[in-house]
Structure 1
Amino acid sequence: MDFDKLTQKEEFKTIEPEKLAAIKEISEKSKGKSMQEIIKIISSYKELFSSGNKITDEERNLMISVMLENMNEEERKNFAKILKLGGITI
């Protein structure tokens, strides 16, 4: 699924444009990268998503969807385990 189609879902229409642009950048930079590289890419945006500008559940779900789109099956399984440890189900 491409990013533009993903963001057309109703739950993503309320995301602030600045955050949506950052998530799109993360998506583009993540293509073809390993899970470790993707995590580093996302970490580089942590100031945007800091305490005064926390991400919503919808934004988190979009970021997870973007990450999953760029992973192979084994990486998806491992990532799902990591999320489960954090109390997040996909």
Structure 2
Amino acid sequence: MTIVMGIIMHAGNAKALAHEALEAAKAHEFIKADNFMQESNKALTQAHNVQSDLLTKEAQGEHTDINLYMVHAQDHLMNAITYQDLIKEMIVLYRKQTN
């Protein structure tokens, strides 16, 4: 359960920080937006590292039980990745708008 909660927590933080970056970009505060995206990337990396540890253990023969909680955690991670990708593109558009 600790592993699942780690993925959910870090992925949720990554998504929330990406949203903060979007809000900063809307206000044309691009340095602030960049800082939020850097923090979002760090949180996403933490979530991804937890997932990578699971994959490594699986490859080494240490099976992890898959349950609804694990599926939910993976869902959070994939949503955070997708959301962050979308926010990056939106920030580029906001930057172009100011030029």
TM range (shorter): 0.3 to 0.5
If you compute each CA radius of gyration, which structure gives the higher value, 1 or 2?
Answer: 2
Q: Which has the higher contact order (CA 8 A, sep 6+)?
A: 2
TM-score, normalized by length of structure 1?
A: 0.38
Which structure shows the higher helix fraction?
Answer: 2
